[in-house]
Amino acid sequence: MHKDTPQHYGTISRLFHWTTALLLLWQFTTAFGHLLLDDTPVGDFLWSSHKPTGLVIIVLITIRLAWALWTHPRRPAAINQLAAYGHYALYALMLLIPALALLRQYGSGRSFTPFGIPLMPGFEGEAIEWMTLPANVLHSWLGWLLLAMIAGHIMMARAHRRSGDVNVLERMASKR
Ligand code: HEM
Ligand code: HEM
């Protein structure tokens, strides 16, 4: 049940996939809160969970990626080469986006205590520019790119289902 087979994703892979999807849905809600509702109570409330949620996402994706690599030989093959590259790109962005942000957080010298855990104590003095620059330039753009790719991913899953070739949604969404 919990293992993947070439025909179907097992419970663990499906749990990883849908938990990540829910967390990213929340993460983009907080990003829209920042973009559109800045300095309002709702915007502040949403934004307050952006960094901790981002941390949870990077931890989850690291474990998910290790699981995907380990079970790779028996997982369902992507429907074509383009789909495979699309999935690699989703994984890469889900890792890179929070990683750059965490690097910036460290380099800024500001403390970071998600869920009360003193992860980064912060430091006195100047920010470390090589650590802050990549996220300053790329973090939000790559974030919106990921959102666009997720929209494409969902559309392709629906298209494959309609076109009558392999029902990819069934193998990710339902029990065997
Ligand atoms: C997969 C995880 C993440 C996604 C998809 C994501 C996405 C985004 C997006 C789309 C924006 C732009 C919001 C706007 O235009 O106002 C943004 C901004 C921001 N994010 Fe994230 N984020 C993630 C993780 C993190 C983490 C882990 C941190 C910090 C530890 C963080 C810190 C920030 C900050 C400080 C900003 C505002 C400055 C900027 O636009 O670069 N994010 N994020
Ligand atoms: C945040 C949103 C999402 C992300 C980041 C994401 C990412 C991924 C990734 C990386 C895969 C490759 C399989 C794996 O290694 O787990 C995958 C498979 C899949 N996803 Fe998503 N997904 C998201 C949301 C959705 C949604 C909402 C749907 C529903 C339409 C969906 C439908 C599928 C299907 C059907 C597969 C299996 C494809 C196949 O069998 O070749 N995904 N997804």
Q: What is the CATH number of the domain that holds 140?
A: 1.20.950
In the structure encoding, which two tokens stand for residue 89, read together? 């790109």
Q: What angle do CA 51, 54, 56 make, to 5 degrees?
A: 115
With a cut of 80, say whether residue 1 has pLDDT above it.
Answer: no
Given pLDDT bands bounded at 50, 70 and 90, which one contains residue 133? very high
Q: Is residue 3 part of a domain?
A: no
Q: For residue 74, tell me if it sits in a domain.
A: yes
Query: Would the CB of 14 count as within 6 Å of ligand 1?
Result: no
Q: How far apart are CA 161 and CA 68, in angstroms?
A: 23
**Ligand 1: which of 59, 62, 108, 140 to mutate, most ligand atoms within 8 Å of CB?**
140
Is 16 a domain residue? yes
| Sign of the torsion formed by the C-alpha atoms of 100, 38, 22 and 79 | negative
Residue 128 covered by a domain: yes
Give pLDDT tens digits for 25-62: 999 999 999 999 999 999 999 999 999 999 999 999 99
| Tally of domains within the chain | 1
Domain membership flag for residue 138: yes
Q: How far apart are CA 172 and CA 24, in angstroms?
A: 17
Question: Is the minimum distance from the CB of 155 to ligand 2 under 6 angstroms?
Answer: no
| Domain ranges, residue 51 | 11-173
Considering the domain boundaries, does residue 48 fall inside one? Answer: yes
Q: Is pLDDT of 94 > 80?
A: yes
> Bridge-partner residues for 120, per DSSP?
112
pLDDT of amino acid 174: 83
How many A from CA of 30 to the centre of ligand 1?
A: 9
- Please provide residue 38's backbone torsions phi and psi, each rounded to the nearest 5 degrees: -55, 140
